[in-house]
Amino acid sequence: MFANSDVEPLVVRQRGRSARAGDRALLLHGLGSSESCWDSFVAHRPPELDLWTAGLPWRSGGPYAVAGRAESEWIASAIRQVPGGADVVIAHSYATILLLELLSDLAVAGLHPREELGVRAVILVAPFYRKHPNDFTWAELPGNLTAMRRSAEDHIELMSRNGLAPGVRADMAELACARLGPYWAVRYLDAYLRTPFLALERIDLPVHLVVGGDDPVAPPAEAEALAGALGGHASIERIDDCGHTPMAERPERFSLAVQQFLATLSAGHTPAAAN
């Protein structure tokens, strides 16, 4: 049962068509965000890439109360709705955890994402990860909530064309958080707390991580730890002077990172870590 029963929980749309045959990429937004977070990247997309976006149940204005199914199942449903399949899945923030959870569950079940979903690579943007359960502490919980509100404030500032006064921006972020309510915080924390238990070493798929060097929400060190946990299948790229949304803050640089990663796939190997 969804809080907003009149809102479609999952909407997949085509956002950009390549002039020639190329890869199809599905873009997944984070918690309390929306498909619009990808607009700048869509405008600067690599020319050989067909783009699709998914409006997911945890989007801003969506049916964001507790769902009657595992969150990662929505990721699988979105992938299957892309006509012809999604060769590459690009996930941001909260969606990175759910995508990793989906890949981990498939691996544990002895299934390969290429065979089950047609996915041959993933890109994780500003991912969350902790290696050990005791890496989480009670004392940091208030800070996590503050970081979530700051993320909302940064997103509002980024989406504002003319800029906003700090007080107005803060009030809008507080209103956005209040509208979403406690469920989004519980969802995020629950998923985040599960990351030490994911079978990352069993994910047999090229994974490229893209992180903002100044990300105040998902520290770059967590992406580096995640790359290490994924082993030889992972590579990482850090974009300097960039926060939590590289695809919106530095779209041309982000597009180049995606294009270079896709080129390595075509060459049959995964790129080495880059800075």
What does the pLDDT look like over 88-131, one tens digit per residue? Answer: 999 999 999 999 999 999 999 999 999 999 999 999 999 999 99
Domain ranges, ordered by start, for the chain: 11-266
Average pLDDT over the chain reads: 87
Using CA atoms, how far apart are residues 148 and 77, in angstroms rounded to an integer? 26
Helices 182-193 and 141-159 cross at an angle (nearest 10°) of 120
Q: Which residues of the chain carry a pLDDT beneath 70?
A: 1-6, 18-21, 63-68, 161-162, 267-275
User: Which residue type is seen at 63?
Assistant: P
User: Which residue type is seen at 226?
Assistant: L
Q: What percent of the chain has pLDDT over 70?
A: 90
- 36 DSSP β-pair partners: none
Using CA atoms, how far apart are residues 230 and 226, in angstroms rounded to an integer? 6
Residues 6+ apart with CB under 8 A from 33: 59, 60, 92, 93, 155
Helix (H) or strand (E) holding 208: strand 207-212
Whether the CB-CB separation of 79 and 86 falls below 8 Å is answered with yes
11-266: CATH topology is: Rossmann fold (3.40.50)
Whether the CB-CB separation of 180 and 208 falls below 8 Å is answered with no
Count of alpha carbons within 13 Å of 98, Cβ hemisphere only? 28
Q: Where are the beta strands (DSSP E) in 9-147?
A: 11-16, 23-28, 49-55, 88-92, 121-125
The pTM for the full model equals 0.91
Helix (H) or strand (E) holding 234: strand 234-239
Q: Token match 């047999």: residue? A: 204
Query: Token pair of 32, please?
Result: 């309390």
- The per-residue pLDDT for range 196-216, each reduced to its tens digit, is 999 999 999 999 999 999 998
Q: Token match 């969802």: residue? A: 187
